[in-house]
Amino acid sequence: MSGAILFRDARIVCPAAGERRGDLLVVDGAIAPGETPADAHVIDCRGRILAPAIVDLGVGAIDRAACRAGGIVRVAPLPDQSPPLDEPGAVQRLALIGRPDLWIHPIAAATRGNAGADLAEMAVCLSAGARAVGTGRHWIADSGVMHRVLSYARDLDVVVMSHAEDAGLTGGAVATAGETATRLGLPAAPALAEALAVTRDLMLAEETGARLHLRQVTTAAAFALVRAAKARGVRVTCGITPAHLLLSDIAMSDFRTFAHLSPPLRDEGDRRAALAALADGTIDVLCSGHDPRGPEEKRLPFADSSVGAAGAATLLALGLGLVRDGIVTLERLFALLATAPARLLGLEAGTLAAGMPADLVLVDADAPWRIDADALPGIAGNTPFDGLPVQGRVAGLWKAGRAVG
């Protein structure tokens, strides 16, 4: 046997090479040019989309079932796991548990215990398998510590992923200050908390020359800051989740704890600014923010419930909705989902170029379904999109040419 697979009659979408209708050959787990071996296994794609499988950047939990359903074959978990990813043993154990179907690329903690004080052993964690350094779900409030983190990361040539919200303003808040929070009587913080944190991190990144990735940017003021920093040549990228693109704080109006997220949902003006930032290229990465919570954490009063939502299984379908709405092209969608996150993590993945590992997702873009929190695969199904009709299902998934699922 040649170890060859021919994907026949596919709508092939590669963020690097563009879109074409035709065949794709995989030999020994890698994309291959040339003639198809006579004994190749043939998969008839029937005109469906064949694209790079998703690289999900910054997940809160490892969730194989949700990833399979969502077309995800690589994940980068946040450093505030249990135990924290601040020492090489924890990093190495996590990096090995998912293979061969789901490859895990840990984000090492920037500080010991993610406490924002003493620097962690970043270099040793990188040698153990970490692919980035991060602040986890929290901002490093001490500017001196963040300066040292960025300087050290610059010397290691590794990206720093920051959660940008000034904790001095957000402490105890569960919503963005505004009409909705006031009407519901919820503890709220001004959206300015994000812009303040982004400003500080951008200035330190510019001064140190470090690579900075702002894990989630969600406000008009912060997008303007990122846009201007990119124009100045600051080495900054940013991400967002579908929730902050498609939902505003109005989604919390019935005290629905599935909409209790971090960062909190913003007002409609910020949501529209997020769509504009996606369209003009300011946003680099579309991620799931997958952080599922069970009923014991969500069936509580809004202010007492845990932040987080399931996002892996719905990421692709919601992204395809952005394509149908004309916000992004299909090629750009897979750049946001696969190419850009792979590049940030230093992975040879995310495109369909010859020699790349055959991490592939086959997508039936027109398949209709309704998001049902009670039926979503994975650890838990708490999604703010419960009940939403969508289109697009994963019809097949391969990791290095090996079928997943």
* HEC letters along the chain: CCCEEEEEEEEEEECCCEEEEEEEEEECCEEECCCCCCCCEEEECCCCEEEECEEEEEECCCCHHHHHHHCEEEEEECCCCCCCCCCHHHHHHHHHCCCCCCEECCEEECEHHHCCCCECCHHHHHHCCCCEEECCCCCCCCHHHHHHHHHHHHHHCCCEEECCCCHHHHCCCCEECCHHHHHHCCCEECCHHHHHHHHHHHHHHHHHCCCEEECCCCCHHHHHHHHHHHHHCCCEEEEECHHHHHCCHHHHCCCCHHHCCCCCCCCHHHHHHHHHHHHCCCCCEECCCECCCCHHHHCCCHHHCCCCECCCCCHHHHHHHHHHCCCCCHHHHHHHHHHHHHHHCCCCCCCCCCCCECCEEEEEEEEEEECCCCCCCCCCCCCCCCCCEEEEEEEEEEECCEECC
- The Cα–Cα gap between 260 and 317 comes to 21
Q: Are 178 and 148 in contact (CB under 8 A)?
A: no
Mean pLDDT, consecutive 10-residue stretches, the chain (405 aa), reads 86 96 96 92 98 98 97 98 96 90 97 97 97 97 98 98 96 96 97 98 98 98 98 98 98 95 98 98 98 95 96 98 98 98 97 97 98 96 97 97 92
* Biggest CA-to-CA distance, the chain: 68
- Its pTM stands at 0.96
pLDDT value, residue 180: 96
pLDDT value, residue 99: 84
- The Cα–Cα gap between 313 and 336 comes to 16
Q: What is the CA radius of gyration of the chain?
A: 21
pLDDT value, residue 1: 40
| Cα three-residue angle 135-141-146, rounded to 5 degrees | 60
Token pair belonging to 67:
């990833």
Q: Are 381 and 292 in contact (CB under 8 A)?
A: yes
Task: Given CATH 3.40.50.300, say whether it is the number of domain 53-350+368-385.
Answer: no
- The Cα–Cα gap between 226 and 106 comes to 25
216 to each of 197, 299, 351, how far by Cα in Å? Answer: 12, 26, 23
pLDDT value, residue 2: 57
- The Cα–Cα gap between 324 and 125 comes to 41
